[in-house]
């Protein structure tokens, strides 16, 4: 592994070691682990959201007498 790849990896690992434990109090009265799980779930739902065009009502004409 080259130094150019090793340095960013070391930075990421060292920053990750400074995070709070999952059981530490987090925002909104949930633990840090729960907050992280909620963020991941929200991101997953955002990825699955259909495009705006799919949410537009169709221009179907009503049938006479229907």
CA 35 from chain center: how many Å?
11
User: pLDDT of 27-66, one tens digit each?
Assistant: 888 999 999 999 999 999 999 888 888 777 777 776 776 5
Please tell me the predicted confidence (pLDDT) of residue 38: 94
Tell me if the pTM is above 0.75. no
Report the distance separating Cα 58 and Cα 60, nearest Å: 6
Distance in angstroms (rounded) separating the CA atoms of residues 43 and 36: 11
State how far the Cα of 65 lies from the Cα of 38, in Å rounded to an integer: 49
């Amino acid at each position: 592994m080259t130094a150019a790849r090793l340095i960013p990896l070391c930075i990421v690992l060292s920053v990750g070691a400074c995070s709070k434990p999952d059981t530490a109090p987090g925002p909104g009265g949930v633990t840090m682990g729960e907050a992280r799980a909620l963020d991941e779930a929200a991101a997953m739902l955002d990825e699955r959201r259909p495009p705006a065009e799919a949410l537009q009502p169709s221009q179907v004409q009503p049938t006479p007498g229907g």
